[in-house]
Chains A and B, each alone.
Chain A
Amino acid sequence: DAGITQSPRHKVTETGTPVTLRCHQTENHRYMYWYRQDPGHGLRLIHYSYGVKDTDKGEVSDGYSVSRSKTEDFLLTLESATSSQTSVYFCAISESASGESSTDTQYFGPGTRLTVL
């Protein structure tokens, strides 16, 4: 998985509790992404980062926040988890995000399965 780890790999939590997922890379890539994947919806972008402390929202950002204090780490926080946030979460990295370059290719982590009861 191209030097990308996600932790935890599985988590069960209760509605209303805060949850933080961690993505760690060893590739020194500038861009990092958080996606969720749900049946019938495919991969949907939550937030992404284009550098340390530089982040932006994706398609489904409501209820999620992110932080990136180091190049290698990108954290996704659910401030108050809801059952609708039960999903598989994938982290991805890329060298660029120009829309024109082959270095836009993304490399994905193994995923975190989150269940909110």
Chain B
Amino acid sequence: SQKIEQNSEALNIQEGKTATLTCNYTNYSPAYLQWYRQDPGRGPVFLLLIRENEKEKRKERLKVTFDTTLKQSLFHITASQPADSATYLCARGGTALIFGKGTTLSVSS
């Protein structure tokens, strides 16, 4: 079956460090991957979309990479801040988006 997996349920880092979150997909070659942020008690919010022919995409302190050989996308937050603490979801397109289970990032000061 087509799967999208975020291997880490939780990631704890110190303020100022770079957080790296992983998204893997199997049995499918998505034309793009999307990343969303979800805060407790709220709906997910779109952050970035990266296409298969784009190796890297940036938005302020966020960077996403797409490696079609490894079937993997990495999501980086540089100079992380406590306000970055949230759950981050990876999703792949199709008739409807299929989401990974998410990685909960905690940034401590």
A43-B89, A99-B95, A105-B49 as given contacts; A110 in contact with B102, CB under 8 Å: no
Query: Chain B binding site: helix, strand, loop or mixed by DSSP?
Result: loop
- A107 vs B97: C-alpha distance in the bound complex, in angstroms? 12
Q: Establish whether residues B96 and A1, one from each chain, have CB atoms under 8 Å apart when the complex forms.
A: no
Nearest CB of chain A from residue B1's CB, rounded to whole Å: 11
Of the stretches B16-24, B38-46, B73-81, the one at the interface is B38-46
Q: Establish whether residues A100 and B44, one from each chain, have CB atoms under 8 Å apart when the complex forms.
A: no
Nearest CB of chain A from residue B27's CB, rounded to whole Å: 15
Q: Establish whether residues B101 and A33, one from each chain, have CB atoms under 8 Å apart when the complex forms.
A: no
Q: Establish whether residues A90 and B43, one from each chain, have CB atoms under 8 Å apart when the complex forms.
A: yes
Nearest CB of chain A from residue B59's CB, rounded to whole Å: 13
Q: How many chain B residues touch A (Cβ–Cβ < 8 Å)?
A: 23
User: Which residues from A are CB-within-8-Å of B101?
Assistant: 40-42
**Is A116 part of the binding interface, using a Cβ–Cβ cutoff of 8 Å?**
no
Q: Establish whether residues B45 and A104, one from each chain, have CB atoms under 8 Å apart when the complex forms.
A: no
Residue ID in chain B nearest A99 by CB atoms: B93
The 4 A-B pairs with the shortest beta carbon distances in the complex, nearest first, are: A108-B43, A42-B101, A99-B93, A43-B99
